[in-house]
Chains A and B, each alone.
Chain A
Amino acid sequence: MSFIKRALKPVEVIIVAAKVGRVTIKYPFEEPLISPDFRGKIEIDPTKCIGCGACVNACPPNALEMIESEDKKTLRYFVGRCIFCWRCIDVCPVGAIKGTREFELATNDVLDLFDFIIHSKTRCNTCGKMTSETTRMQKFILERAPIAEVYSSKCPECRRNSLIRAVAMRKVGLYE
């Protein structure tokens, strides 16, 4: 009796299969099975982004890149390189980046895979050269530290010069 039972043991899988039934879902026509915590594509809010580049420094695969030109600073997001780690969301100081659950990203136009956010750079109010800061970055700093007003509108070189001048004046009373 036990021999027959043992010999028929493999057949038990039929019972398992009958109980489970069909598990394959008709995917494109049904909701995909993703959990509420799924990390998908990111969305950058162009109205909030200040162009500071914190996300660019944190991004492991360089999906976020800062492209600098003479008077513009462009944040480029290329979803083709993105690993959906959401580190950029962790580090964004203004909360401009939002995570979505979107993952069906196939397209036949490569431009759909790119997002561009173009920021204009500021001009140094002393020497007139372009600084590497964006206008929004300057505004962001001034809102939090109004005391920085004197320096924030200068390029790094003029900033250094004026600091040296100020220190020198305080230490030895030297002035131009």
Chain B
Amino acid sequence: MSSTKPELEKYYKLREEYGVSIYVDRDTVYITTPREKLVDIASKLFNEYQCTFRTCVGTDERPINGFFSLTHIFTDDRSCLYVLVKTYLESDDPRVPSIVSVVPGADWCEMEARDLLGIEFTGRQQYRLVLPPEWPNNVYPLRKEVPYNYRPPVRGVSERVTTTVETGVVPIGPYHPALHEPEYFELYVEGERVVDVNYRGFHVHRGIEKLGESRMTYQQVNFLAERICGICGFEHSTCYALAVEKAAKLEVPERAQFIRSIVLEVERLHSHLLLLGVAFHLLGYDTGFMHTWRIREKIMYIAELLTGSRKTYGINLIGGVRKDINEEKKLKVLETIRELEREFKSFIETALSVPQVKRRLTGTGVLPKEYAVKLSVEGPVARASGINRDARRDLPYAAYKYASFKVPVYTEGDNMSRILVRVDEIFESISIIEQLLDKIPKGPIMLDRYEIPEGRVGVQVVEAPRGGDVHFVITGRGKPYRWRVRAPTYSNIPALKVMLKDQPLADAPITIASIDPCFSCTDRILVIRSDGRREWIRLAGVGI
């Protein structure tokens, strides 16, 4: 049906060039390649076709076909296409060439696949990423034979700060007033200047993917997905629901899609306001913090009015939403967001005119565009570095195709532009909510009957306040066979190394906060009871 589209031509060319199999289904291009050609294909997609690298997914398909598989997820944002590059690996020798040399952003997800599935990557340095060092070497939690409640005897060893003679070390975290979640940064300083950064994360790896694949049903996973993140949870549950709906080819009622989009924008508003408040707080402008959060409180009330809860809205199900928006609520929402817009506009002008805020944001924590592209950063971080990319516009989902909005792009790449992107997005979100509430069609909000066939693949990108959430689902019987989640902070943290280098130490907290980090969503996957000594993760160093 869609094989005649001109933007697909270049993908069909790959067939002749590399002898790989190409299959197109709606907006997804499935490329199955032998492992020898994987690096060439990845290089072609990333460098020549300018696709965005999102994540990679290892899957244990041995119960189905006797192979492991590795799927690299790219998106072609200009032609509105998802590109999945799949490689099958023999179960007795799961070895695959690494694509880190061409796509540096693949560093973490490859190591995650190695930890959790035992896939070995050749041509790169391998280290343990998500599992604690005490975890037994031959147990790979995401393999299907490992039960979800398996707990090996792990003995905790305390972790020590490494000190070197040449440079001073400033540890930030795992528990630190500037961080709201357990994560560990080690800043190497010369005088007041940061020269290098080490990052140790994954302290709160919760085993969510395994849980969703083993204990829960399709509808229950929605509520679990919502709890991946405490701030942008609804993006995760929408992303999961959309991925399953795409896999099962369900036509969800329009009204449900509108409600999803409206609530997504409500969540973006509260998340951006939250970050602005935190940023002002870190800059010592507590008045700004108090007033931003006071304004945010209105949004929290709207969220509760529309969904029944201030956070973890719980209205998404596969096939639609659970709560309708009636005329009375619509008026209340419109009235509140107009008031909010007025209040926020006058306040943010004042706040950004404060000299200490201006000076400490401008020119600090710069992420140049070339690094932003190489590291596949997401969301406001990418847009502040001059990458014009927004999944709401490029890969339209839910009801975003019915709204017109601008995507703010700044080219400076400093903390100020990351803040300004968010300020602009707040006004865009308000306008999107107004447009969608105006256009919302009548009709049901939930599919009556539907079926989810087995073995289908669905992948969805949803633009969360921090960047693109990626959910990848392979359907199974009564529950997902494989469910892979990639939160945006996962691709933004490696960029911190570039941002923090050669900066004064005093700017480190605001630079870390400027990516709006959400560490717990980055971590996910395994319950670690005792905290142990861990190997250092070198952040993906792109030539530095």
Contact = CB atoms under 8 A, between A and B. Distances in A.
Interface of A: 6, 9-10, 12-13, 16-17, 20, 23, 33-39, 57-61, 83-87, 90
A71 B217 CA distance: 29
Interface in B302-339: 304-309, 312, 314, 322-323
Q: 10 shortest A-B CB distances, which residue pairs?
A: A9-B353, A39-B308, A60-B223, A60-B220, A85-B314, A10-B354, A35-B305, A35-B304, A12-B350, A37-B308
A58 B314 CA distance: 13
B355 interface: yes
A100 to B, nearest CB: 12
B355 A10 contact: yes
Contacts of A61: 223
A85 B223 contact: yes
Contacts of A20: 294
B353 A10 contact: yes
Nearest to A90: B322
B350 A13 contact: yes
A84 B312 CA distance: 10
Nearest to B303: A35
Given A33-B301, A37-B304, A39-B314, A84 B309 contact: yes
B308 A16 contact: no
22 contacts: A9-B350, A9-B353, A12-B346, A12-B350, A13-B287, A13-B347, A13-B351, A16-B347, A17-B291, A23-B294, A37-B306, A37-B323, A38-B308, A39-B308, A39-B309, A39-B314, A60-B223, A83-B223, A83-B227, A84-B314, A85-B223, A90-B322
Contact of A35 (B216, B227, B301, B353): B301
A16 B220 contact: no
Given A37-B323, A87-B223, 15 more contacts: A10-B350, A13-B287, A16-B291, A35-B301, A36-B305, A37-B304, A37-B305, A57-B217, A60-B224, A61-B223, A84-B309, A84-B314, A85-B223, A86-B308, A90-B322
B101 interface: no
Contacts of B220: 58-60
B326 to A, nearest CB: 10
A19 to B, nearest CB: 10
A87 B224 CA distance: 13
Nearest to B300: A33
Contacts of B307: 37
A6 B294 contact: no
B448 interface: no
B291 A38 contact: no
B404 interface: no
B92 interface: no
Contacts of B304: 34-35, 37-38
A59 B220 CA distance: 7
A96 B297 CA distance: 34
B349 interface: yes
Nearest to A57: B217
Contacts of B224: 60
A85 B313 CA distance: 8
B219 interface: yes
A96 to B, nearest CB: 19
A84 B307 CA distance: 12
A104 to B, nearest CB: 15
Contacts of A85: 223, 314
B300 to A, nearest CB: 9
Interface string B164-189: 00000000000000000000000000
B346 A16 contact: yes
Nearest to A11: B350
Nearest to B349: A9
Interface in B269-292: 287-288, 291
Contacts of A35: 301, 304-305
B65 to A, nearest CB: 31
Contacts of A36: 305
A23 B311 CA distance: 21
Contacts of A86: 308, 314
Contacts of A58: 219-220
B66 to A, nearest CB: 33
Interface in B343-374: 346-347, 349-351, 353-355
Interface in B210-231: 216-217, 219-220, 222-224, 227
Contacts of A60: 216, 220, 222-224
Contacts of B222: 60
B509 to A, nearest CB: 22
A67 to B, nearest CB: 18
Contact of B291 (A13, A39, A57): A13
A123 B309 CA distance: 44
B312 A83 contact: yes
Contacts of A10: 350-351, 353-355
B5 to A, nearest CB: 40
A33 B306 CA distance: 15
A6 to B, nearest CB: 7
B201 to A, nearest CB: 26
